[in-house]
Amino acid sequence: RLLRKAYDLLESGERCGLKIANALETEAWEHAAPAFPCNVGPDQVAAHLSPTDAEPADIRSARLVKIDFGVHVDGWISDAAFTYVFDENCNRVARAAYDALYEAVHVIRPGTCVAEIGKKISDVAKRHGVKPVSNLGGHQIHRYMLHAGLFVPNVPEGRGVVDEGMLLAVEPFMTDGRGHVSEGTSVTIYSLERRRARSQNARKMLEYIESRFKTLPFARRWIEKEFGKGGWLALYELVKGGSLRQYPILLEDRGSVVAQFETTVYVDKDGAEVIVDVFEMGEW
């Protein structure tokens, strides 16, 4: 429902990433809670860009944009994403991500090796003449742990095996570039790593983070909203002291566009039950 809201906003002409993120997060807080900040990824930005007041993610000149968002209820998380295409020349890479997700979900069942899932995604990429992003992939989800346990690759590698009862985020990333991402310098997302602070302001911020978000990722702008611009010093202290983990923006190595589709599935004895239906957003 929330991703559909983002899709409808884009369809109506909204091109400010910050407004889209705020709309989704505000509604999430009304019914549950965000599992992580809304990611708005134009073109070569693969992941970890959550808009700020200073950098609101103007996507008017983007060729495509990825909206990645999740919610949780008492720590139980759903995670999903879709790609919205502005430039028809990007249809191929977006369609590859969409098809790869659809086909990957249908090979998942107890006993499936993650390399088999990665091979399916890689085969779909080859069929569309694009590349999977080799150093990104899906992940197992635990309560209050967005990335836990099993890694679900976009290429045929890994020895992990899917078990009944697992909750998995499956997220093919496709590109017409190199097929690899690297960290940029911008950081807009953090999570709690350990509980240590020296100054009173840092301790107060740490207490707020632990009570509000626990181990889940949070946005810098959420902290600014609570503590004002003056909270920067306390945030910097927590980062420098190793209390917070940073999530740098991830960029495609050649600056090529990256497309993504993602859903969360529950693995039962018969296969993968889709928790979040993103397939209705695959219309070109």
Residue 284 predicted with pLDDT over 60: no
| Phi and psi based region of residue 97 (left: phi greater than 0; alpha: psi -120 to 50; beta: remaining) | alpha
171 is catalytic: yes
139 is known as an active-site residue: yes
User: What Å distances lie between residue 177 and 108, 210, 251, 270, CA to CA?
Assistant: 28, 39, 11, 37
Catalytic-labelled residue, pool 171, 176, 237, 252: 171
pLDDT digits (tens, 9 = 90+) for 137-188: 999 999 999 999 999 999 999 999 999 999 999 999 999 999 999 999 999 9
Task: Please tell me the predicted confidence (pLDDT) of residue 183.
Answer: 98
Please give the residue that has the higher pLDDT: either 65 or 198: 65
pLDDT at 273: 97
**What share of the chain in percent tops pLDDT 90?**
93
Distance from C-alpha of 104 to C-alpha of 171, rounded to nearest angstrom:
9
Catalytic residue among 99, 176, 252, 262: 262
Whether residue 263 contacts residue 170, with contact meaning beta carbons closer than 8 Å, is answered with yes
Q: Is 31 a catalytic residue?
A: no
Q: Which of 25, 128, 139, 252 is catalytic?
A: 139
14 as an active site residue: the answer is no
Dist CA 143 CA 194 (whole Å)? 18
**Active-site residue flag, 72:** no
* pTM, two decimal places: 0.96
Q: Specify whether the CB–CB gap between 135 and 180 falls below 8 A.
A: yes
Token pair of 250 as six digits: 């991830």
Rounded CA gap, 266 and 247, in Å?
26
Q: Which two tokens stand for residue 39?
A: 């990611």
* The two structure tokens encoding residue 273: 């039950």
Structural domains in the chain, sorted by start: 2-183+254-281 (3.90.230.10), 186-247 (1.10.10.10)
Q: Catalytic one among 25, 43, 79, 176?
A: 79
Hey, which residues does 83 pair with through a beta bridge? 66
- Quick: pLDDT tens for 110-148: 999 999 999 999 999 999 999 999 999 999 999 999 999
- The dihedral through the CA atoms of 182, 162, 71, 102 has a sign that is positive
Which tokens hold the place of 252? 């495609």
- The one catalytic residue in 147, 193, 224, 253 is 147
Extended beta strands in the chain, E state: 33-42, 45-47, 64-73, 76-85, 131-132, 137-140, 151-153, 167-170, 173-175, 181-192, 218-219, 244-252, 258-260, 263-268, 271-274
Band (15; pLDDT cuts 50, 70, 90) = very high
Let me know: does 131 contact 179? Beta carbons within 8 Å.
Answer: yes
Give the pLDDT confidence of 232-259 residue by residue, as tens digits: 999 999 999 999 999 999 999 999 999 9
Query: Which of 25, 43, 48, 68 is labelled catalytic?
Result: 68
Q: Is 11 a catalytic residue?
A: no
